Amino acid sequence: MFHSQVKEKLGVTFNNAKSMLGKLDNIPERCGPWMTKKLSFKDRPGEEFLIYHRDPIEAVKALWGDPALAGDLVYKPAKLFRNSKHKEDDRIFSEMWTGSFWNAVQGQLPSGATLAPVILATDKTQLTQFSGNKSAYPVYLTLGNIPKELRRKPGTRACVLLAYLSVDKPGKKGLTKREMKLRRYQLFHRSMSIILEPLKRAGNPLGRGIEMVGGNGCVRRVYPVLATYVADYPEQCLVTCTKYGTCPRCQAKADELNLPTTKEARTQRWTLQKIVEAR
């Protein structure tokens, strides 16, 4: 309990810790409210898996409209070269807006539209070592419009927490090891599909995009598109539906990874074709 004289001198509007925490809870979330989704398998409806997530569009809007980042955001792609000959072999790649991806996607958007390349990152983290076996599975979001020097600084708040995936494992009863693995894979992809559904709709180049107000007050029609996924090797295999031990980026097999020659890149179409063939 605060003494009345102390309260008056400090100019606070709360009387005790409980009222202070209540006021903190009433502060609007920077990236939108948290939502809970329950997932389950058809043959085991009573076994539920919880995911906690935000709307990715609200997270993008929060970064886009942050006044502290307004002077550093980049809104259009560029090509940098080592010399005045402007040959493709002399290109310089430093930031995302200097790459080929942004230039290619920008050409598919309506005139006057702005691309917001979304960068996602996941990292399943062990929280306890000696007891409890507690872990967390956070999903982070940032934008390629923000220079990488700022993205990697925690103090800039340029990377936001988007979701917590379920860390619970399906029950082993009646399942083989292979079936257990498949269920964990299915749970991950189903969770990410739910979390990113608003992003898929908003980033459709045939759609209208979303009007966003920047930190400088300018209004732009923005198309948020998933551009990059940052993960360690096991999660790269999980995200790309790749067998562990092979390359998640190209079609090289496990015994071909040491070869100096490159293989054809994995594409969504190629991956879907392999899934259909396996079925």
Going from N- to C-terminal start, the domains of the chain cover 1-29, 31-232, 240-279
Lookup result for tokens 């539209």: 113
CA neighbor of 3 nearest in space, from 131, 217, 12, 186: 12
- 3 state DSSP class of 44: strand
Query: Considering all CA atoms of the chain, what is the largest pairwise distance in Å, rounded to the nearest integer?
Result: 77
Tens-of-pLDDT digits for all 279 residues of the chain?
A: 555 665 666 667 777 778 777 777 777 777 889 999 999 999 898 999 999 999 999 999 999 999 999 999 999 999 999 998 889 889 999 999 999 999 999 999 999 999 999 999 998 887 776 666 778 999 999 999 999 999 999 899 999 999 999 999 888 888 898 999 999 999 999 999 999 999 999 999 999 999 999 999 999 999 999 999 999 999 999 999 998 889 999 998 888 888 888 899 998 899 889 888 887
Between the CA of residue 65 and those of 49, 115, 124, 188, what are the distances in Å? Answer: 33, 15, 29, 30
What the block records as the tokens of 60 is: 């993008």
Residues 13, 96: Cα–Cα separation, whole Å: 46
The whole-model pTM stands at: 0.86
CA neighbor of 127 nearest in space, from 136, 140, 115: 136
CA neighbor of 72 nearest in space, from 149, 153, 159, 155: 149
Check residue 25 and give its pLDDT.
73
Check residue 145 and give its pLDDT.
97
Check residue 8 and give its pLDDT.
63
Residues 78, 236: Cα–Cα separation, whole Å: 28
CA neighbor of 226 nearest in space, from 188, 275, 264, 192: 192
Contacts of 51 (CB under 8 A, 6+ apart): 36, 37, 39, 163, 164, 165, 166, 191, 194, 195
CA neighbor of 147 nearest in space, from 139, 158, 136, 157: 158
Check residue 114 and give its pLDDT.
96
- Bridge partners, 142 (sequence order): 119
Residues 160, 147: Cα–Cα separation, whole Å: 15
Check residue 2 and give its pLDDT.
53
- Residue 275 one-letter amino acid: I
Contacts of 267 (CB under 8 A, 6+ apart): none
